Chains A and B, each alone.
Chain A
Amino acid sequence: MVQQVETISHETEAHGTHHEMSFWEKYILSVDHKIIGLQYLFTGLFMAAIGGYFAYAFRMQLAFPGAEVPLFGYVDPAKFNMLVTNHGTIMIFWVAMPVLIAAFGNWMIPLMIGCDDMVFPRLNRLSYQIFLASALVLILSFFVEGGGFGGAWTSYPPLSAAAEYNLTNWGASLWLLAVALEIVAFLLGGINFITTTMNARAPGMGMMDIPIVIWMIDIAVILFMASVGPLIAGAVMLFFDQRLGTSFFLPSGGGDPLLWEHLFWFFGHPEVYVVLLPTMGIVAEIITVFSRKKLFGYRTILYTAFGTGGLSFIVWAHHQFVAGIDPRMANVFVVTTILISIPIAEMLFSYIATLYGGSIEFTTPMLWALSFLVSFLIGGVTGIYLGASALDVYFHDSYFVIAHFHYTFFPITIIGMFAAMTFWFPKMFGRMMDETLNKIHFWGTFIPFNGLFLPLFLVGMAGQHRRISDFTQYPDLASPDLQGIRIFATVSLLIMLLFQFVFIYNFFNSMFKGKKALMNPWRATTLEWTIPSPPPHGNFAEMPTVYRGPYEYSVPGHDEDYWPQHIPPKSNV
């Protein structure tokens, strides 16, 4: 019966392609998962440019306090707060999530599980449109009277709850509205992602034949769904506090500001794993392809991802050790926080075991994947320091924290994004990227990244607080040594930002003028490499059937060193 349905809809599809679509129909109002994926990708990259510009402005202020920043102007303390707040918000909600989950999820889920689209194409389009609206609301919030919100991406009340405290009456509410819309977009998109993976798999593809990146995206979506609910309730309450005069979080009216911190971090900590897991999946795909080896411990990686996800719900209060929570409760959260490093470490060991003994090819995606493992390791290890409540009392809100989470989020978001873009570029645009320029861009990003954030551990240990825009007023922190470190970090950032132009040039130049890509340039096994690059509307000319797991590389007795999922075993030929 299923077969029948497939033939019928396939015929209608074939007729549909004759109809000439306008630019508007094809790229703006499309319900094709590939186009929606690109919409998410380009919106995410545009927002990344804004986030990077904000980082540039406040890093310049920190290195050269009081100076006119070229292309920005003078950064006064209010502007500084607005810049750091929105830098954080943008990079998490409008870069990491849309690019890693929505863009690559949209592109890869239907292709890798062997079907023609998401199960709900129109819901998918609606999800993007709400996301776009959320981005526009956030950008609008920078231009209203009073300027953008400056109360940190964590938006702690009472500061965030009352205009007389935060002085950004509309900025604060628009910020909250933008985040709420973004959450709605991802809930809708997430339902589509999970349902598609569960129901639309190609015949023969069992649960354990799904490529690991798809698993990771789906686990991330479920984590998001389960953690964000209380924050939605909290956001409604905070919005009522701001606009309708309730006092859920205002002590003056009997409310409790600490409650918001619990609601926020109950979401905020799983959120780290929401963005981490997709990158873990991307890296798994890349290292197996370029080691020409089967992924070590497919099930182990999967179970550690479940373990991490489960544990991530009971670690949130490690963000609040100095917020006035009961010290006995803090002890519990120290234990759970340190525990969560076990499944993550196990996952990293599986990746290293995959590399061990492989025929490694140092292509650009592989360099990005390896650099992810190295730098995320530093982020993870420094997290153990912060997870211990005794040490956290000193480190809290210092640049040590900043350096720590940038060693997690930068590898996750930026390195993960470049890894995926350089790996799937041939499939997405049908052309190869210039490998030399790609490598120049890789080193020009990876070295300054360390030059930027390693020094911040030092200033953090010296006691530099994260929410101060001008350290010249603090004698202990105004020493030339510390200022030298700050200037070094800022110069590293400038170098890193300049090297991004190499990527932008390479990206667009290769898109139109690059060498034509073959169907399967990396000799990979998963289903997206069995169709033309770029894939046509409807993806598969003939719907594939799956015969084996996704990582059959260097199988003894097989002629080639890779064995794609859709090729029938010899006995059947």
Chain B
Amino acid sequence: MSTHGPIATHRTATGIPTGRLAVWWLLASEIFIFGGLIMCFLLFKFNNAPGFEDASMTSTAAGAFNTFVLLTSSLTIVLAHAASERGDTSASFRYIWFTIGGGLVFMLVKTYEYSTKILLGHTLTDNIFWSFYYTATGLHALHVFGGMVIMAIISFDVRKNYNLQRVELIGIYWHFVDIIWIFLFPILYIANF
């Protein structure tokens, strides 16, 4: 760890590194944002709002494939963390870029899904279901994209053997992005109740 910055940054009265603590608090606040959005979706759904039968039109296969991709990328970021703990920075760098690649595949499939749906006329304003579909998956995709950018920045630091603890921090975040998808996938792609 660097000795840069104020003394406060390097204290750990709780025994938990400050960066990890901050990421957990960030994710805590994110849970309430996505939680609120999913709650709204379910309320509409259980009140039989019109348009929710369109849930059957989302491609379960594409969603399942993306779930697989995202979960695999979570494995590679764990491997990146393990490699950086060992001090094997070049392996860590490689695994981080595998993870970014996973994110990229996820985004490409998402683009394909969006464009086919839009071509069928199911745009953001079509009905409440599609409004939720684009809002929820779009907000999630923004998180995926943000994670990819941060990972790219971190990867070059890692190669210079600098700020290695950040691999773990982005890993925690990436798992969170996964978990959000684990909630979105069933309610938007599978459930048709």
Q: Do A and B come from one complex?
A: yes
Contact with A along B61-97 (1 / 0, CB 8 A): 0000000000000000000000000000000000000
How many residues from A make CB contacts under 8 Å with B? 54
B186 at the interface (CB under 8 A from A): no
Q: Are B13 and A191 in contact (CB under 8 A)?
A: no
Interface code B118-134, partner A: CB below 8 Å = 1, 0 otherwise? 00000011011001000
Nearest Cβ distance between residue B23 and chain A, in whole angstroms? Answer: 9
Contact B22 A228 (CB under 8 A): no
Residues of the B chain whose Cβ atoms lie less than 8 Å from the Cβ of A247: 125, 128, 131
B8 and A236 within 8 A (CB): no
Check: B28 CB closer than 8 A to any chain A CB: yes
Number of A-B contacts (CB under 8 A): 160
**Contacts A201-B11, A236-B139; A231 near B21 (Cβ below 8 A):** no
Determine, out of B36-44, B104-112, B145-153, B163-171, the stretch whose residues face the partner at the interface.
Answer: B36-44
Assess whether A195 is in contact with B125, with CB atoms less than 8 Å apart. no
B residues less than 8 Å from A192 (CB atoms): 22
Asked if B156 is at the interface (CB within 8 A of a chain A CB), the reply is no
A236–B33 alpha-carbon span in the complex (Å): 10
Asked if A230 meets B128 with Cβ closer than 8 Å, knowing A2-B11, A191-B25, the reply is no
* A140 on the B face (CB < 8 A): no
* In the bound complex, CA of A2 to CA of B12 (Å): 9
Residue B14 at the chain A interface, CB threshold 8 Å: yes
Contact with B along A231-275 (1 / 0, CB 8 A): 111101100100011111000011110010001000000000000
Distance between B44 CB and nearest chain A CB, rounded to angstroms: 7
A117 touches B40 (CB 8 A): no
A229 with B31, Cβ < 8 A, contacts A116-B7, A199-B13, A200-B8 known:
yes
Among the stretches A4-12, A19-27, A477-485, A550-558, the one at the interface with B is A4-12
Contacts of B22 in A (CB 8 A): 119-120, 191-192, 195
A187 at the binding interface (Cβ < 8 Å): yes
Partner of B18, one of A5, A117, A119: A119
Q: Which residue of A lies closest to B138 (CB)?
A: A236
Residue in A closest to B35 when the chains form the complex, CB atoms: A229
B6 touches A237 (CB 8 A): no
Query: Which interface class (under 10, 10 to 19, 20 to 34, 35 or more) fits B?
Result: 35 or more
Contact A240 B124 (CB under 8 A): yes
* Least CB distance, A177 to chain B, in whole angstroms: 17
B101 an interface residue at 8 Å Cβ cutoff? Answer: no
- Quick one: given A195-B18, A233-B36, are A244 and B13 in contact (CB under 8 Å)? no
For window 172-190 of B, CB contacts with A under 8 Å fall at: none
Q: Using known A-B contacts A234-B40, A236-B135, A236-B139, determine if residue A196 contacts B8 with beta carbons closer than 8 Å.
A: yes
| A195: B residues at CB distance < 8 A | 18, 21-22, 25
**Does B98 sit within 8 A of A, measured CB to CB?**
no
Cα A245 to Cα B123 with chains together (Å): 11
B32 at interface (Cβ–Cβ under 8 A)? yes
> What residue of chain B has the Cβ atom nearest to residue A110's Cβ?
B8
Residues of A near B51 (CB, < 8 A) are 254
- A interface with B by C-beta (< 8 Å): 2, 5-6, 8-10, 12-13, 110, 115-121, 187, 190-192, 194-196, 198-201, 205, 225-234, 236-237, 240, 244-248, 253-256, 259, 263, 538, 543
Interface residues of B (CB under 8 A from A): 3-14, 16, 18, 21-22, 25-26, 28-37, 39-40, 43-44, 47, 49-51, 124-125, 127-128, 131, 135, 139
What are 12 sample pairs from A and B whose C-beta atoms fall under 8 A apart? Answer: A2-B12, A5-B7, A116-B6, A200-B7, A200-B13, A205-B13, A225-B32, A226-B29, A230-B37, A237-B37, A254-B50, A254-B127
Query: 10 new A-B pairs (CB below 8 Å) besides A230-B37, A244-B125?
Result: A9-B6, A121-B5, A198-B13, A198-B16, A200-B8, A225-B28, A226-B32, A234-B36, A236-B139, A256-B49
